[in-house]
Amino acid sequence: MWCSLKKILFCCCGVFAAAGGAARSEEARTEEGYRVAEPGYAYAFPRDHGSHPGFRIEWWYLTGHLEAEAGGDRFGFQATFFRNAAAAGRRDGEGALFGSDQVYLAHMALLHVDTGAYVYEERLNREGWDAGAKIGYLDVHNGNWRLRRAPDAASEESMVLEGSVLGDARFRLRLSPEKEKVIFGEDGISRKAAGPADASYYITFPRLAAEGEMNWRGREMKVAGRVWMDHEISSSQLGEGQVGWDWASIHLDDGRDMMVYRMRTADGKMDAFSRMTWIGPDGEMTRYGPDAFRWEGVREWKSPATGAVYPIEVIVKGPNPETGREIALRLRPLADAQELEGALGGVAYWEGACEVLDEAGAVVGKAFVELTGYDGKLAQRLRK
pLDDT one-digit tens code per residue, 17-74 = 333 333 334 678 888 888 999 999 999 999 999 999 999 999 999 999 999 999 899 9
Q: Is residue 13 predicted with pLDDT exceeding 50?
A: no
Using only the alpha carbons of the chain, give its radius of gyration: 20
Question: In the predicted model, what is the mean pLDDT of residues 73-85?
Answer: 96
Q: What is the pLDDT of residue 33?
A: 84
* 1 vs 268, more confident: 268
Count of C-beta atoms within a 10 Å radius of residue 348: 26
Specify whether the CB–CB gap between 116 and 352 falls below 8 A: no
Specify whether the CB–CB gap between 140 and 146 falls below 8 A: yes
Give the closest residue to 330 by CA, choosing from 290, 298, 293. 298
Would you say domain 47-382 falls under CATH 2.40.370.10?
Answer: yes
Q: Is residue 378 predicted with pLDDT exceeding 60?
A: no
Q: Is residue 226 predicted with pLDDT exceeding 90?
A: yes
Q: Is residue 381 predicted with pLDDT exceeding 80?
A: no
Give the closest residue to 333 by CA, choosing from 310, 304, 307. 310
Cα(169)–Cα(73) distance, integer angstroms: 13
> C-alpha dihedral over 205, 105, 313, 66, to 10 degrees?
50
Could you report the per-residue pLDDT of 189-223, keeping only the tens digit for each?
998 888 878 899 999 999 999 999 999 999 999 99
Q: What is the pLDDT of residue 237?
A: 65
Q: What angle do CA 90, 92, 98 make, to 5 degrees?
A: 55
Q: What is the pLDDT of residue 16?
A: 29
Count of C-beta atoms within a 10 Å radius of residue 69: 11
Q: Is residue 150 predicted with pLDDT exceeding 60?
A: yes
Q: What is the mean pLDDT of the chain?
A: 88
Q: Where do the structural domains in the chain lie, given as residue ranges? A: 47-382
Q: What is the pLDDT of residue 100?
A: 54
Q: Is residue 365 predicted with pLDDT exceeding 70?
A: yes
Q: Is residue 168 predicted with pLDDT exceeding 90?
A: yes
Instruction: Work out the percent of the chain whose per-residue pLDDT is above 90.
Output: 74
Q: Which of 23-27, 95-99, 167-171 has the lowest mean pLDDT?
A: 95-99
Question: In the predicted model, what is the mean pLDDT of residues 168-189?
Answer: 97
Question: In the predicted model, what is the mean pLDDT of residues 301-311?
Answer: 96
Q: What is the pLDDT of residue 242?
A: 84
**Global pTM value:** 0.89
Q: Is residue 124 predicted with pLDDT exceeding 50?
A: yes
Q: Is residue 271 predicted with pLDDT exceeding 50?
A: yes
Q: Which residues pair with 377 in a beta bridge?
A: none
Q: What is the pLDDT of residue 95?
A: 35
* 366 vs 11, more confident: 366
Q: Is residue 364 predicted with pLDDT exceeding 90?
A: yes
Question: In the predicted model, what is the mean pLDDT of residues 110-126?
Answer: 96
Q: Is residue 280 predicted with pLDDT exceeding 90?
A: yes
